[in-house]
Amino acid sequence: MIVELILKVLLSVKYRKFRFKSEGLRCNYKSINSKFQYSNKISLGNDVWLGPKTELDGAGEIEIGNGVIFGPEVCVYSRSHNFDSIELKALPFDDIVWNAKVIINDFVWIGRRAIILPGVTIGKAAIVGAGAVVSKDVPDYAVVVGNPAKVVRLRNSERVELLLKEETPFVYSKLGHGKKDVVKIKK
């Protein structure tokens, strides 16, 4: 059992470049306890961090931009069952599956246990709150929470655009990876 686990880890690390359709620089993910279905249809940009127990179903394609961070247990689905068409042959759904590409743009932060459904595009520098269920497109700079996910505010677009012009805007490249002291932030 332990030998099998060690072998699985070594093989996943050695061959992980072949796991995705494309994989940018400095990507961080753990294949153990994560599920990457149809991984040949999943593209990762640079500086992508996928939290533990991430689930990506790439049947309809998933495109993840640069500087994207997933919290633990985030699920992204690019396919679903037929449950409500004129051709429906059984209940609660039939054997027909439909695919729709999911696009997650640059510098998006997705919180723990969020679920992204087929056909969704998440805009640049958006934030998806923990536990949100995203069934519709999310605009650039939006903060969305809830089930279904709703926009609760927009980020400061001028400040975000200024940071995007920097050579290394990505948080872990710029500030390192670790907890810092809590400070008061001016809003």
- Catalytic annotation on 177? no
Query: How far apart, in whole angstroms, are the C-alpha atoms of residue 75 and residue 35?
Result: 9
- Say if residues 173 and 47 touch (Cβ distance below 8 Å): yes
Query: How far apart, in whole angstroms, are the C-alpha atoms of residue 106 and residue 46?
Result: 9
Quickly list H helices, the chain.
Answer: 2-15, 157-164, 171-175
C-alpha Rg value of the chain to the nearest Å: 18
Q: Which of 8, 81, 89, 136 is catalytic?
A: 81
Query: How far apart, in whole angstroms, are the C-alpha atoms of residue 185 and residue 19?
Result: 40
- Residues 120, 124, 125, 131: what is their CA dihedral angle, to the nearest 10 degrees? 0
Q: Which residues are catalytically annotated?
A: 81
